[in-house]
Amino acid sequence: DTEVTQTPKHLVMGMTNKKSLKCEQHMGHRAMYWYKQKAKKPPELMFVYSYEKLSINESVPSRFSPECPNSSLLNLHLHALQPEDSALYLCASSTRSLSSQETQYFGPGTRLLVL
Amino acid sequence: GQQVMQIPQYQHVQEGEDFTTYCNSSTTLSNIQWYKQRPGGHPVFLIQLVKSGEVKKQKRLTFQFGEAKKNSSLHITATQTTDVGTYFCAGRMRGSTLGRLYFGRGTQLTVWP
């Protein structure tokens, strides 16, 4: 099973709203990622969690706040977003093994529209 | 800046024609992964190449990793309309321990029936 699930599938929010995106995997993976993808562009890395600890923050604005409550769950808390933050937000996970053969599996994404 | 270059950006082919997309890195990669993203979908893992000069096949898809582990290609033989989508390569830099992938910009494939 290589399934990563994300909820919600679609989200429309105003600039003053607070919302959260959720990601879950039950593959025993110890690394989880948030990516942002704009139309016709590759995914852009936002955050990496390794063993539930934040290991990479790609200079993401503080209106995006990640959280990793346990090894299976990853949240992205959204507050005071801007219209340009509208995008597909992808979660991914990988084994976090020390070998070079680490594959990232993506969830279906949340399509976010900020009005 | 862009560390993995991918060309072409767009490719339009008639059904039955072949298709190839190329990726090139300025630095040596420890591995390279290929993903396919259908319109409106999410990236789906296709394959990972690890060894220098490695060639892997999946039905009509052939993946190659260069001898220097700096370039890779995906070739589709006799395209079908189901091959439509954007193909991304994503390389992991040698020495990277944090799982970061560097994505190419993708090649958007259109197949006309």
Whether B79 contacts B11, CB under 8 Å = no
Number of A to B CB contacts under 8 A, please give it: 61
B12 vs B5, B22, B63, B95, CA distance in Å? 20, 15, 20, 37
Percentage of chain B with pLDDT > 90?
A: 87
Band the pLDDT of B3: cuts 50, 70, 90: confident
Residue position matching structure tokens 């979908």: B41
| Residues in A touching B108 (Cβ below 8 Å) | 40
Band the pLDDT of B13: cuts 50, 70, 90: very high
The tens digit of pLDDT for each residue in B53-97 reads 999 999 999 999 999 999 999 999 999 999 999 999 999 887 766
pLDDT at B11: 97
Query: Rounded to 5 degrees, what are φ and ψ at B83?
Result: -85, -5
pLDDT at A100: 56
The tens digit of pLDDT for each residue in A66-89 reads 999 998 999 999 999 999 999 999
- Which residue in A has a C-alpha nearest to residue B9's C-alpha? A40
B98 CB within 8 Å of a chain A CB: yes
| Distance separating alpha carbons of residues A14 and A38, to the nearest angstrom | 19
B96 vs B24, B31, B92, CA distance in Å? 18, 11, 7
In this structure, what token pair is assigned to residue A81? 């977003």
| Distance separating alpha carbons of residues B98 and A80, to the nearest angstrom | 30
Cβ-Cβ contacts under 8 Å for A59 (sequence gap 6 or more): none
Distance from CA of A42 to the nearest CA of B (A): 5
Q: What is the mean pLDDT of residues A3-9?
A: 96
Residue B33 has its nearest CB partner, among A31, A48, A103, at A103
- 3-state SS, A72-87, equals CEEEEEEECCCHHHCE
Q: Using only the alpha carbons of chain A, give its radius of gyration.
A: 14
| Distance separating alpha carbons of residues A12 and A83, to the nearest angstrom | 11
Q: CB B100 to CB A45 under 8 A?
A: yes
Distance from CA of B33 to the nearest CA of A (A): 8
| Residues in B touching A43 (Cβ below 8 Å) | 43, 88, 103
Q: Tell whether the model's pLDDT for residue B98 goes beyond 70.
A: no
CA angle centred on A28, ends A58 and A1, rounded to 5°:
105
Q: CB B42 to CB A42 under 8 A?
A: no
Whether A50 contacts A31, CB under 8 Å = yes
pLDDT at A103: 86
pLDDT at B97: 60
Which of A36, A40, A24, A32 has its CA nearest to residue A78?
A36
| Residues in A touching B101 (Cβ below 8 Å) | 45, 104
Query: Rounded to 5 degrees, what are φ and ψ at B82?
Result: -75, -10
Which of A6, A31, A33 has its CA nearest to residue A21?
A6
- Which residue in A has a C-alpha nearest to residue B47's C-alpha? A103
| Distance separating alpha carbons of residues B40 and A74, to the nearest angstrom | 23
Q: CB B43 to CB A107 under 8 A?
A: no
